[in-house]
Amino acid sequence: MTIIAVSMLNKAKFLQGYIVNFRFNFLSKEPHSSYNILDISYSDAIHLKPMIKSFRHGGIERFFRKGSKAGIQPKHAEKLRRQLFALDNAKLPQDMNAPGWRLHQLRGELSGHWSVDVSGNWRLTFAFDGNDAILVDYQDYH
């Protein structure tokens, strides 16, 4: 039997809801028959769990969950949005090693934590517990 996928609907909503919907319809061509839609068509939803598990900074958590800029520097919003999206999808600290972000591991009191540059003295810091980001913070290093 030959199966041909004829349509796939992929709707993604990131940073709010974490749901990706896939819909597949298949056509089959049985020997000596015309193309028919199979009964094996299905629609499935994949619920992606957020990878950021905890925050230390309330403003960055509100920005991540609701888009509120009240607790962050508004001029940092676009870069923080990209960084939080990347962090939410990262499985390892090295996944945050994008050009210009200057990923580095912290020492001292924050040993085991990582940092990426936001702007000037501002940093986004985080740690990993397995594949999940934890203790996400937004700090002004003086």
Tell me how far apart the 2 most distant CA atoms of the chain are, in Å. 76
Is the CB of residue 2 less than 8 Å from the CB of residue 29?
A: yes
Q: From the candidates 47, 57, 76, 142, give the one annotated as an active-site residue.
A: 142
Residue 132: CB atoms within 10 A of its CB come to 16
**What interhelical angle do 77-89 and 58-66 show, nearest 10?**
80
Is the CB of residue 53 less than 8 Å from the CB of residue 33?
A: no
32 labelled catalytic? no
Write the secondary structure of 47-102 as one string of H (helix), E (strand) and C (coil). Answer: ECCCCECCECCHHHHHHHHHCCCCCCCHHHHHHHHHHHHHHHHCCCHHHHCCCCCC
Give the residue numbers marked as catalytic: 142
